[in-house]
């Protein structure tokens, strides 16, 4: 009779532990999905912020280029020619 009581208690305890473990696993999965969605949102926000910063920097650079046009041609090697020209003007 004692063994039957302990077997019944063990079975009941096992069922309770199993159900609680299933509940904990389901909660962890839900949290995982929520956390994944949050991380995706944060990644998208940071990517948009970086793109916005790059666009504003490019706009500022374009405004600065239009404000002070570089003398001479703007073909390949023209940057090197400008550097040489400005260095020669600085020596005079």
Tell me the mean pLDDT per 10 residues along the chain, length 92.
86 91 84 77 86 86 69 65 74 57
Dihedral, 80, 83, 89, 92 alpha carbons, nearest 10: -90
pLDDT of residue 90: 63
pLDDT of residue 75: 63
- Domain tally for the chain? 1
pLDDT of residue 11: 92
Which one-letter DSSP state was computed for residue 92?
Answer: -
pLDDT of residue 74: 60
> Which residue range forms the structural domain that includes residue 72?
2-91
pLDDT of residue 67: 64
pLDDT of residue 69: 54
Name the pTM for this structure. 0.40
pLDDT of residue 60: 85
Q: Which of 77, 49, 79, 51 is nearest to 65 (CA)?
A: 79
């Amino acid at each position: 009779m004692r063994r039957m009581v302990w077997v019944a208690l063990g079975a009941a305890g096992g069922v309770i532990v199993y159900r609680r473990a299933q509940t904990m696993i389901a909660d962890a999965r839900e949290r995982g999905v929520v956390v994944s969605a949050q991380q995706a949102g944060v990644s998208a926000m940071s990517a948009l912020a970086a793109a916005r910063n790059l666009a504003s920097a490019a706009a500022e650079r374009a405004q600065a280029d239009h404000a002070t046009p570089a003398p001479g041609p703007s073909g390949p090697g023209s940057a090197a020619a400008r550097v040489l020209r400005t260095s020669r003007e600085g020596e005079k």
